[in-house]
Chain A
Amino acid sequence: MNQKDIWQDRLKDVRINPSRNLWFKIENRLDTDIRNSRRTILGVAAAVVLMIVAYFAGIRSVASPEYTPMTLEINDQASEVPLPVEYQNPAIKELHYKKGGHLIPNARALWENPLVPKVN
């Protein structure tokens, strides 16, 4: 008999009783795990149902005549924005530069004297 066998033989029958409430502790943990897994399953199921409902609600709203998609014609010249009429008035200089206590840009002045970068 080698040393390993001697030790194994001597200690194979060692039994120590754990405290009585250990089983209740295990039982509680198992119950909590079951509750948590049920909650997870319910959560996933609710999310799936919500997605299905949202999908069908979306299809219904797209199919509604109120929201028929239409194509708008865009003029080739649309990018040339004319100066608003009020700024074509020569009395433009008398326009207020302040409105409600805030400075507002003088559109005409900017139009006539565009800002240019200062080059030294």
Chain B
Amino acid sequence: MQLEKVLRGIRKKDRRAQQMLYDHYAPIFMGIAMRYLTNLVEAEDALAEAFIKIFTRIHTFEDKGSFEGWMKRIVINECLMILRQKRSQQLYLTLDDVDVEIEPEVIGRLTAEELMEAIQELPDGYRTVFNLYEIEGFKHREIAEKLDVSIHTSKSQLIMAKRKLREILKKNLIINNYESEGHMAG
């Protein structure tokens, strides 16, 4: 896909160019949306809304930055909007200053799908902060602004998310080992 050509087409509201962009990026953005919203219908709603914004607000994109980065920000914002509407984020928790590390070998032994499933098991608030900080690379200050919470809350949510995730990953790893051993024995 020639991005420059497609971008020109989208600026002219050319439907074929819009569909080309959609075909290329929809699976990538769906992967992002499913990390934030575990529900398929909600993730698709966020994706549809994001693409409509991408097509109708293309004039606000300045050629200086990355187009993919600009689109990703729109997708993430749409996911956050849906989470905000649900109002199910229990975002305040007491801060525990001890950072939690998830062993790299644990992450390494699981497939991307298994890691996605583990992230999806996290409660909304934990998952949102974890995605924004660990995967998207936002700073706690930016997360606090985006979610309208304090920096303290963002940090505590991340710690709790990592603790929970470590539990889930270890549990999954044990199950995997058990299954593979059982398979070998059988």
Among listed A2-10, A58-66, A70-78, A99-107, interface-contacting one: A2-10
Please report the total number of B residues contacting A with Cβ < 8 Å: 34
Instruction: Check B52 against A29 for contact (C-beta < 8 Å).
Output: yes
List, in ascending order, chain A residues with CB within 8 A of B55's CB.
Answer: 30
Residue A17 interfacial (CB < 8 Å): yes
Q: Is the interface of A mostly helix, strand, loop or mixed?
A: helix
Instruction: Check A4 against B134 for contact (C-beta < 8 Å).
Output: yes
Residue B8 interfacial (CB < 8 Å): no
Q: Which A21-45 residues sit within 8 Å CB-CB of chain B?
A: 22-23, 25-27, 29-30, 33-34
Instruction: Check B137 against A4 for contact (C-beta < 8 Å).
Output: yes
Q: A18-B44, A30-B52, A33-B56 are in contact. Are A11 and B26 (CB under 8 A)?
A: no
Q: A22-B47, A22-B48, A30-B55 are in contact. Are A10 and B112 (CB under 8 A)?
A: yes
With A and B bound together, what is the CA distance between A88 and B146 in angstroms? 87
* Binary interface encoding of chain A residues 67-106 relative to chain B, with 1 for a CB under 8 A from any of its CBs, else 0: 0000000000000000000000000000000000000000
Task: Name the interface size band of chain A.
Answer: 20 to 34
The smallest C-beta distance from B40 to any residue of chain A, in angstroms, reads 8
Cβ contact of B44, chosen from A1, A13, A22, A27, cutoff 8 A: A22
List, in ascending order, chain A residues with CB within 8 A of B19's CB.
Answer: 23
Instruction: Check A26 against B48 for contact (C-beta < 8 Å).
Output: yes
Residue B30 interfacial (CB < 8 Å): yes
Instruction: Check B102 against A3 for contact (C-beta < 8 Å).
Output: yes
* Binary interface encoding of chain B residues 88-119 relative to chain A, with 1 for a CB under 8 A from any of its CBs, else 0: 00000000000001101001100011011000
Cβ contact of B27, chosen from A8, A16, A26, cutoff 8 A: A16
* Binary interface encoding of chain B residues 70-101 relative to chain A, with 1 for a CB under 8 A from any of its CBs, else 0: 00000000000000000000000000000001
User: Could you list some 13 contacts between A and B, CB below 8 A?
Assistant: A3-B102, A4-B134, A7-B107, A14-B113, A15-B27, A17-B30, A22-B26, A22-B44, A22-B47, A23-B22, A27-B15, A29-B48, A30-B18
Interface positions of B (Cβ within 8 A of A): 13, 15, 18-19, 22, 26-28, 30-31, 34-35, 40, 43-44, 47-48, 51-52, 55-56, 101-102, 104, 107-108, 112-113, 115-116, 133-135, 137
